[in-house]
Structure 1
Amino acid sequence: MTRWGAPRLWLSNWRTATIGAVALAIATATGLQAAATTLDDPPVPPTPPVITATYHGTEITNCLDQTVCPETAVLGESVTFTFIATSPDVVRHQYGFIGTGAESIDGNTVTITLAPPDQGWNRLDVQSINELGQFSTTASFLFNVGPRPGPLGSWGFDDGTGITAADGPGLTHPLNLGGGTAFDGKGRVNGSVALDGVDDFAQAGDAVVDTSQSFTISAWARPTNSTKRGVVAAVTGTDSNAFALFYDAAARRWVFARSSADAKNPTLYRAASKEAPINGAWAHLIGTYDAATGRLQLFVNGRLQQSTTSSTTPAWRAAGPLMIGRGKYSGALSGWFAGSLDQINLWQRVLVADEIPGLVDPRIGSSGNDRIASGGAAYWPLDDAAQGTDHVWRTAEAVRGADLTLAGFGSPAGAFVDDPEYGRVLELTGRSRESLTLNRSVVDGSTSFTVAARVKIGDPAKPMVIARQGTTGKDTWRLEYKPVDEFTSQWIFARGDVASAAETVAIATVDRESVAGWHLLAGSYDGKPASASDPAGELGLTVDLRASDGSSERYTATPPRAGNTVVGAARTTGKSFTGRLDDLRLYAGVAGSFKLCEDYPGQDACGS
């Protein structure tokens, strides 16, 4: 706790200085009596300041002497304090909330805006400081801060069937589904809603939020058409959107925008993403509008993309309705979104920084925060292959139909064999021409993801790449096996760096003898969104879900985002996979042990 200044410390220094002054006075014969008078009349410290406070322009009562203290502010929002000096020689004030460090501000009477640090009781302590550096006694201001208001609308799209998406608990804005909009069970968090980009949409009965006031919208979006504009959500008027969160195909950017007026050709104030979306991958979007400053902000996957200031003219209030999957431009409905949407929320306030990580890395469970929620991005059972009408052999993907193309196999159908432990599995011989490829990404490498697979090494003396995503020059991520010497081997999860040829690796070092047989490898990247104090991500690797056989490593590089998904082949020759593979999965988000035990039953670490 900060130690506050006290007049006693000043007095000690003053006495020391005065002794020197007395000696000088005697030596110069200016009068012993004058020196004695100085000793008897030390400088007087300032009296404590008067503190006043307002919240949204309304005066707050100091509860120091109150028996009842109602909630007068909201956690995460600012309170304006005025420190009124009661001594004319005050030049500075030292202040701080209990439990935080002290700061100072220059001036005799000053006004400052501060955000209370805690919900419930908050006490601000202030001391005045005069020209001589003397501190007043402490003045305090006690007030009660209420919890942050929850969303006014929250749609998880976990309904499963029907034509209505229920609002969150206690909320009253259900969405009606139109066109061919349908629920599916493949969302970022449980279910989602799928839209075709032609005539699918969902719509509330009203605007849900007042667009002339501060608000925030958040959503998970998985676009599937990079060539057409797609609106995630908008609140509409007669001719235009009061705001819209959308994909701009011309700029290839996510955009959060508000319009200057309900007109056919209004001015648009925009905040845009720094990079293009990864088609087919989940992205988390947050748009905020601060009515007091006119500031718009867009966050993608928890990271601020752009902050812009719109016109100081008050924003207009749209009658609505809230539309999902489409918007309104020049009086006509347009911007039909193609892809999937999940977890859309609307607040009548600006979210603060510490609320963002919980949205980007959501948790599920009976209490709402039991375990990290990861969404299935891809699942290749690797049981068999079929030849298409184009004469290309492919093995099926079970989540979104992202089938892998087989190449280099003498008999593609014969590449899948019967295994006594896991039934039908993929077997590769280590020939460099053998591979399975998808010419796109299924996860965005700039945000959290997990890759997992069952692996059985065929030749423990040979280094080999199991699976990877990347280009011919750089791997976005890579799972591999490496023999170190005749006694030791390594399982490796590696990530590249956009800015250099360097790689960061998480390594699990094991006895060579333990490599024989089947193993479950799980490599994860935790992007750690919005952690200003430590922006580094983290790589993790587990073997058979045992923490003792795992590894983690800080990842400070700029992560590559995209690339082809490849199984069995490396970027360079000599590391083609030899052995058997089964059940390759990719997840959006960090897949925890609970999820992996669910998808890979039978692991000893999972228990019965």
Structure 2
Amino acid sequence: MSALSGSAGWTLGDARGSAVAVGTSGSPNATPGSGVTFGAEGPLGPTDTAAALDGSANAYLDAGKPAVDTSRTFSVSAWVNLPERPTDDVTIVSQDGTGAPGFDLGYDVDTESWTFRTPMNELEAMGSWKVSGATAVPGSWTHLIGVYDDELGTLSLFVNGDLIKEDVQKRRTKWDATGSLQIGRKLSLDGYTSNFKGSIADVKVYDRVIPEAEGEVLGGISASQLAYWQVDSATSGVAPEDAGGTGLTLGGAASIYLPDDSCDPVLDPDCVAPAEPLWGDGHLVLNGSDAYATRAAGLLAKEDSFTLTARARLAAAGSTKDQTVLSLAGATGSAVTVKYRASEDRWELVVTDKDATTATTSTADATGVLPSSGGDGDHLALVYSAVFGDVLLYVNGTLAAQAPWDNAWDFTTASLQVGRTLTGSTGSGYFDGAVDELRMYRGALDASTVPTVAVLPAGSSIEETVT
């Protein structure tokens, strides 16, 4: 069978009960096994659909013909969502050879990461050339792209639009697998194996290289705003969430500052004009001794990427005590903390590896900027990528601190603390100053988006300003 020219694709967004997965751009329809169900929620939300595979021997879709010449340049991509981390290798997309696939895009248990491989020969007796990287996050949609560049002789892998730069490898043998393209399994000498359990969407195969810039566009995941608290009002001690979600509960002497508009210097030259709010119409006032605000646990996913942002201003420059702006508190400690570190006069990022008294703590001081005690304060954005296992702190839209974070936290049990660190039932590190414009996102905001979020007008969201 001859491979398709140009590109092949299957959205897998077919209606529930469909007998085939319709191919795009002239691609053949793919026939599903009985372990495939159409109509699962896709990567773009409830209005988008995908194919769910149950992990059995019948969990596959067979396109009936090859999609690409695997001895020449090609790329393959797909969206995937795992219900849990696999305990055996699983395949997302492959193409049949004689006793091995010409390529295999999937998950590798040996490296505990996503992988793209090409066997050394048609029987895979001598092993394979492969590239691997990034962590599989259960319950989260992930975009993968495997690329073979015949001109350079290299294999590479993109995860969520990011090239795994530390693992670009040479493919030193090449051959053309002329069998059918498979979704959800791969061929071996003993038959088909590595059946996938989870959801798959938008499989594409190209007869060209996907360059890095295009990979970022194809696989870039937009963070979605989970909550936004303007903190410019409070009713019965609760500052409302902008979209009607759970508000922030004010504790201790926390209050909302709103300028007194009764003073008009034009009419009364002796009156003193009120100070402007930190951002928007008002801000949260914290006294450094017992004031804080909190939102109960349950907003974040168990182990997925997330972003927390806030605007903060110290009451006075050169404070002699450490002060917490934001933290995620568990039963015995904090998963992550953004704070003012007095000894260095810097914003600081603090992470722990688990919710236990024996947790290991890592810190990173923000560079390049002194914490502000005037004007609009500083915009602080904490960005955690579960896929790449690191956490970043941006100050006023610029990356200022970074730390690896190999953690065992269940974020569904972590409450948001504003203006303090919470250990058990004891608060500490109370913030003295103003905090405003608190936002929480599911997903990691990318470096190009953080500066936009830093200057969003009060009351607006990123969806209104970024296309």
- With the shorter chain as reference, the TM-score category is 0.5 to 0.7
Question: Matched residues in 2 for 1:272 and 1:184: separation?
Answer: 29
Answering whether residue 214 of structure 2 is matched by residue 358 of structure 1, we say yes
Q: Match of 2:39?
A: 182
Q: Match of 1:269?
A: 128
Secondary structure of 1:442's aligned partner: coil
Q: Match of 1:232?
A: 92
Distance 1:464-1:260 versus aligned 2 partners, 3 A rule: closer
Distance 1:165-1:338 versus aligned 2 partners, 3 A rule: same
Unaligned segments of structure 1, at least 5 residues: 1-149, 364-371, 383-414, 444-448, 485-489, 530-536, 542-549
Larger radius of gyration: 1
Answering whether residue 27 of structure 2 is matched by residue 172 of structure 1, we say yes
Question: Matched residues in 1 for 2:204 and 2:331: separation?
Answer: 36
Once the two structures are TM-superposed, the CA of residue 552 in structure 1 deviates from its matched residue by 1.8
Distance 1:191-1:247 versus aligned 2 partners, 3 A rule: same
- After superposition, residues 217-296 of structure 1 pair within 5 angstroms as 217-228=76-87, 229-237=89-97, 239-263=99-123, 266-274=125-133, 276-291=135-150, 295-296=154-155
Letter in 1 for 2:130: A
Distance 1:523-1:288 versus aligned 2 partners, 3 A rule: same
Unaligned segments of structure 2, at least 5 residues: 230-235, 253-289, 354-360
Q: Which of 249, 253, 256 does residue 427 from structure 1 map onto?
A: 249
Q: Match of 1:304?
A: 165
Write out per-residue CA displacement over residues 548-580 of structure 1, whole angstroms, 9 at most, x where no aligned residue: xx432355x564355523333548761479999
Answering whether residue 169 of structure 2 is matched by residue 347 of structure 1, we say no
Q: Match of 1:560?
A: 405
Question: Matched residues in 1 for 2:452 and 2:64: separation?
Answer: 37
Secondary structure of 2:71's aligned partner: coil
Question: Matched residues in 1 for 2:430 and 2:53: separation?
Answer: 39
- After superposition, residues 71-90 of structure 1 pair within 5 angstroms as none
Question: Matched residues in 2 for 1:188 and 1:561: separation?
Answer: 28
Q: Match of 2:366?
A: 504
Question: Matched residues in 2 for 1:317 and 1:420: separation?
Answer: 55
- After superposition, residues 7-46 of structure 1 pair within 5 angstroms as none
Answering whether residue 213 of structure 2 is matched by residue 213 of structure 1, we say no
Distance 1:310-1:554 versus aligned 2 partners, 3 A rule: same
Question: Matched residues in 1 for 2:333 and 2:134: separation?
Answer: 20
Once the two structures are TM-superposed, the CA of residue 520 in structure 1 deviates from its matched residue by 10
Distance 1:350-1:341 versus aligned 2 partners, 3 A rule: same
Write out per-residue CA displacement over residues 398-448 of structure 1, whole angstroms, 9 at most, x where no aligned residue: xxxxxxxxxxxxxxxxx996849765424263799x8637794202xxxxx
Write out per-residue CA displacement over residues 358-397 of structure 1, whole angstroms, 9 at most, x where no aligned residue: 323449xxxxxxxx75154x84799xxxxxxxxxxxxxxx
Secondary structure of 1:568's aligned partner: strand
Question: Matched residues in 2 for 1:160 and 1:595: separation?
Answer: 38
Answering whether residue 177 of structure 2 is matched by residue 317 of structure 1, we say yes
Distance 1:451-1:201 versus aligned 2 partners, 3 A rule: farther
Secondary structure of 1:243's aligned partner: strand
Distance 1:294-1:274 versus aligned 2 partners, 3 A rule: same
Distance 1:166-1:213 versus aligned 2 partners, 3 A rule: same
Once the two structures are TM-superposed, the CA of residue 233 in structure 1 deviates from its matched residue by 0.9
Tell whether the 8 Å contact from 2:349 to 2:364 is kept in structure 1 after alignment. no
CA RMSD, Structure 1 to Structure 2 (Å): 5.6
Question: Matched residues in 2 for 1:493 and 1:340: separation?
Answer: 39
Question: Matched residues in 2 for 1:192 and 1:577: separation?
Answer: 45
Q: More deviation in 251-260 or 499-508?
A: 499-508
Q: Which of 323, 326, 330 does residue 466 from structure 1 map onto?
A: 326
Q: Match of 1:574?
A: 428
Using the size of structure 1 for normalisation, the TM-score is 0.47
* Greater relative contact order structure (CA < 8 Å, 6+ sep): 2
Letter in 1 for 2:405: P
Secondary structure of 1:273's aligned partner: strand
Q: Which of 60, 63, 73 does residue 204 from structure 1 map onto?
A: 63
Q: Match of 2:188?
A: 329
Tell whether the 8 Å contact from 1:156 to 1:191 is kept in structure 2 after alignment. no
Question: Matched residues in 2 for 1:582 and 1:159: separation?
Answer: 39
Tell whether the 8 Å contact from 1:429 to 1:577 is kept in structure 2 after alignment. no
